[in-house]
């Protein structure tokens, strides 16, 4: 149905955490995501890249919801798993999207993610 790719500078996420603390984290990440990442900027940057890649795969941007409506967690083996909720989930259903496949990677400075929107 669609594909998206995004990269996030880990240092920018780290700086935002130091400057805005909870305000930044609570605006972009679910409680479960925050618990999984334990404040690690590289993990948080990877999840942010995945969220943006999901929005690109949907072809909508963030106009139909908010960042917390996309949750990037891990399955039993640690592979990234995406769940969407709220208005974004409703829009995905309208577009025929049944789910997403996501891959995340990190380097010293960057986190990147690719998302594939699956349809029926």
CB burial of residue 33 (10 Å; 0-12, 13-18, 19+): buried
Rounded to an integer, what distance in angstroms lies between the CA atom of residue 96 and that of residue 38?
Answer: 34
Kindly report, residue by residue over 65-114, the tens digit of the pLDDT.
Answer: 899 999 999 988 989 999 999 999 999 999 999 999 999 999 999 999 99
Catalytic residue among 13, 45, 46, 56: 56
- 56 catalytic, yes or no? yes
- 106 catalytic, yes or no? yes
Catalytic residue among 68, 81, 95, 106: 106
Specify the pLDDT at position 24.
96
State the pTM of this model. Answer: 0.94
Specify the pLDDT at position 48.
98
Tokens coding 45: 């940057």
Q: For 13-27, what is the mean pLDDT?
A: 95
Neighbours of 71 (CB within 10 A): 20
Domains of the chain in sequence order: 2-119 (3.90.470.20)
């Amino acid at each position: 149905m669609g594909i998206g790719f995004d990269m996030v500078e880990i240092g920018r996420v780290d700086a935002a955490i130091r400057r805005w603390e909870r305000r930044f984290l609570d605006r972009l990440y679910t409680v479960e995501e925050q618990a999984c990442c334990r404040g690690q900027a590289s993990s948080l940057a990877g999840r942010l890249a995945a969220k943006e890649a999901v929005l690109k795969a949907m072809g909508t941007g963030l106009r139909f919801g908010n960042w917390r409506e996309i949750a990037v967690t891990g399955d039993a083996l640690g592979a990234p798993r995406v769940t969407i909720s709220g208005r974004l989930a409703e829009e995905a259903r309208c577009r025929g999207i049944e789910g997403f496949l996501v891959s995340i990677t990190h380097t010293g400075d960057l986190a990147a993610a690719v998302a594939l929107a699956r349809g029926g």
